[in-house]
Amino acid sequence: MPFTLNEEHFQRLFPAYVQLDLTGNISAVGPSLKRLLDRDVTGRPFFETFAVETPRRVTAAQGLTDQREVTLMIRSGKNHFRLRGIVVRNAEAIYLLVGHVPDVNADEGSLQLTMSDFSPADGSLDLLVASHLRKGLLQDAKALVEELREKSAEADALAHMDPLTSVTNRRGFFRKLEQLLAVARADDTPLTVGVIDLDGFKGVNDIFGHAAGDQLLFQSGARVRALAGPNSVVGRLGGDEFGIILTEASQEAEILAIGQKICEALAEPFEVKEGVARIGASIGFASFPEAGDTAETLFERADYALYHSKHSDRGRPVLFTCQHERQIRYQSAIEQGLRDSADDEFHLVYQPIIRARDGKATGVEALARWTSPVLGPIRPDVFIRAAEQNGAVCRLTRILLRKALADARMWPDDVQLSFNLSALDLASSENAALLQEIIRGSGFPPTRLMFEITETAIMQDFTRVLECLAMFSEMGVRIALDDFGTGYSSLAYLQKMPIDRLKIDRSFTLGVTNRRATSSIMRSLVTLCRSLDVECVVEGVSNAKQAEVLTDMGAPYLQGFHFSRALTQNQLLGYLASHKAGAGPCPGEDVRRTA
């Protein structure tokens, strides 16, 4: 790292210096020197005002070589001053740093810096040199400049290294990305940015402890670095996320081949002190210039490709394409539509929850729908994810909860309302308090209301979520844990949370009639609910055979399009009137649960 001089530091802590351009004209003079001169010398030739001895006399700027000790002779009126200093020269300017100026150093003892204060990133190098010069320690200052120059490259590398994994840290990664991108632009050479996310890393921390997690991160960094190639950059971006910059892979197949090798390497077992840990990895890539021509754009689009990898092709690399570009534009249109939306654009449909032993609808789940006047009907999973990302979901929750509670007042008194909350709804007690006000003002009994939450929402901030759930439980609202069985931490949370119902995820229902292992897992989950004394609802029941098998297993409540499609309020009222007990299914389409 080159030695730099910060004028602000000079003005405050080192007021005696002269700055020249490379032709020898004065660019700036420190304030204490200005007081010794009887005229403004800025812009004038340096050697008209100063005489320089080194010990031989110097008469041209070329003679002011880097780190050379000099004596400056200054005539000011009738007085002559002899000042000692050193020369520091870079590609743009020449600086003469003067160690002592008469009557201006009364406070020099107030500056106490040592080598431990040195950091190239914040300019402390300038201050440390200035401190030595102000104390007249010219030889020390000259040696210090050289020593710091030698150490600055090492210090700079350490400042941009992740101490846990020994790969580049986030700051160093993005600095290197900017540098390599500038080269790619100038030389028309390939550059690809990748974002790697470790799948299942939190489970390693939970099961083996954080020390094992640290070991796994170190080994992960080593595996990625070994496969990336000698001219690539690997960085840890934070948590369990790594970045990679490829500068030699230009073809899509080549990029994806590197990504696939990394995914496969990270899926191999990791030996940690506590045992053997297994994880997976997903990777998103974005190439210059196809995906973007700035570091920010390339990283964002690599991250977008990573999202697709995790949700559509987990464990395999994904390269950002024109199709992803269209999806981003569509996503942006959805987010803008949400910001501009009116309350009446949103409505609810309802899917009954059936008691298995007699076919009676004992509850109804509210499902959100949005019809944009510009974009038309938007899939619930799409607009809800967008609302969570741009913060609009809390507003939607309040709008839809009011509508759901108003509709539910028209249902039979023994039918419950199930309503889904997002992680952001449980992010603060203030959000929970707003929902409490809506419930109290609705006239609907809180004891007939059940809030459904997912494990993802719980894991955002367990303590805060627990605080919000306690607020709802105190007023009689019941709590259901949705999509149960799809996460590894559910059981750990059950004993600490006020859970009244578990909803077993539809992925277990799919194979319950033809897969022995799935059937055994489902039976165990139903038994677990009975042992914990919590209600059990099995989701995704799509045919009579599934309903029969689940009923024989003892599953008390079932939900799915075998019993009913999603209904409007008027359709639901008719359904509830005709399906009180013992009624058969109402055929219809499969509607995914979205909240």
435 closest CA partner among 451, 459, 453, 456: 451
281 and 245 share one domain: yes
Quickly state the pLDDT bin for 454 (edges 50, 70, 90): confident
Pair (381, 264) in one structural domain: no
The residue out of 320, 344, 368 marking a domain boundary is 320
> Amino acid identity, residue 51?
A
pLDDT digits (tens, 9 = 90+) for 369-392: 999 999 999 999 999 989 988 889
Question: For 118-152, b where at least 16 C-beta lie within 10 A, e where not — what string?
Answer: bebeeebbbbbbbbbbbbeebeebbebbeebbebb
CATH of the domain at 417: 3.20.20.450
Q: Are residues 380 and 510 in the same domain?
A: yes
- Please tell me whether residues 523 and 574 are part of one structural domain: yes
- Indicate the pairing of strand 376-378 with strand 361-372: antiparallel
Instruction: Identify the residue whose tokens are 């009579």.
Output: 544
Return the beta strands (E) in 324-383 as ranges.
346-355, 361-372, 376-378
Which tops the pLDDT comparison, 286 or 83? Answer: 286
Q: What is the pLDDT of residues 266-303, one digit of tens each?
A: 999 999 888 898 999 999 999 999 999 999 999 999 99
**10 Å Cβ neighbour count for 554?**
14
pLDDT tens for 306-323 read 988 887 778 889 999 888
If asked whether residues 132 and 205 sit together in one domain, one would say no
CB distance 418 to 481 below 8 Å:
no
DSSP 474: H
In a domain, 307, yes or no: yes
Q: 337 and 315 in one domain?
A: no
Q: For residue 209, is it within any domain?
A: yes
Residue 420 lies in a domain: yes
Does residue 396 sit in the same domain as residue 523?
A: yes
Is 248 in a helix, a strand, or coil? coil
Beta bridge partners of 41: none
Indicate whether 409 and 491 sit together in one domain: yes
Is residue 32 assigned to a domain?
yes
Let me know whether 81 and 138 are in one domain.
yes
Last residue of a domain, one of 124, 159, 194: 159
CATH number of the domain encompassing residue 203: 3.30.70.270
Q: How confident is the model at residue 7 (pLDDT cuts 50, 70, 90)?
A: low
Q: What is the CATH number of the domain that holds 13?
A: 3.30.450.260
Average pLDDT over residues 455-474: 86
Of 376 and 134, the structure prediction assigns the larger pLDDT to: 376
Domain of residue 130: give its range.
7-159
588 in a structural domain:
no
Which range (92-106, 219-233, 257-271, 471-485) has the least confidence?
92-106
pTM of the predicted model, to two decimals?
Answer: 0.58
CA 539, 545, 549, 552: dihedral to nearest 10 degrees?
110
Mean pLDDT of 248-269: 94
The total of structural domains in the chain comes to 3
pLDDT at 48: 80
- Tell whether 594 is covered by a domain: no
Q: For 513-532, give the DSSP string.
A: TT-HHHHHHHHHHHHHHHHH
pLDDT, tens digit, for every residue of 325-374?
888 788 889 989 999 999 999 999 999 999 999 999 999 999 999 999 99
- Single out the residue in 320, 341, 375 at which a domain terminates: 320
Same domain, residue pair 110 and 20 = yes
Q: What is the mean predicted confidence (pLDDT) over 188-214?
A: 90
Q: Quote the CA–CA distance of 476 and 253 in Å, as a whole number.
A: 58
Q: Which residue has the higher pLDDT, 559 or 484?
A: 559
Q: Does residue 244 sit in the same domain as residue 289?
A: yes
- Contact indicator for 15, 104 with CB cutoff of 8 Å: yes
Task: Tell me whether residue 325 is in a domain.
Answer: no
pLDDT at 578: 85
Q: Do 431 and 529 fall into the same domain?
A: yes
Cβ(393)–Cβ(373) below 8 Å? no
Q: Residue 469: inside a domain, yes or no?
A: yes
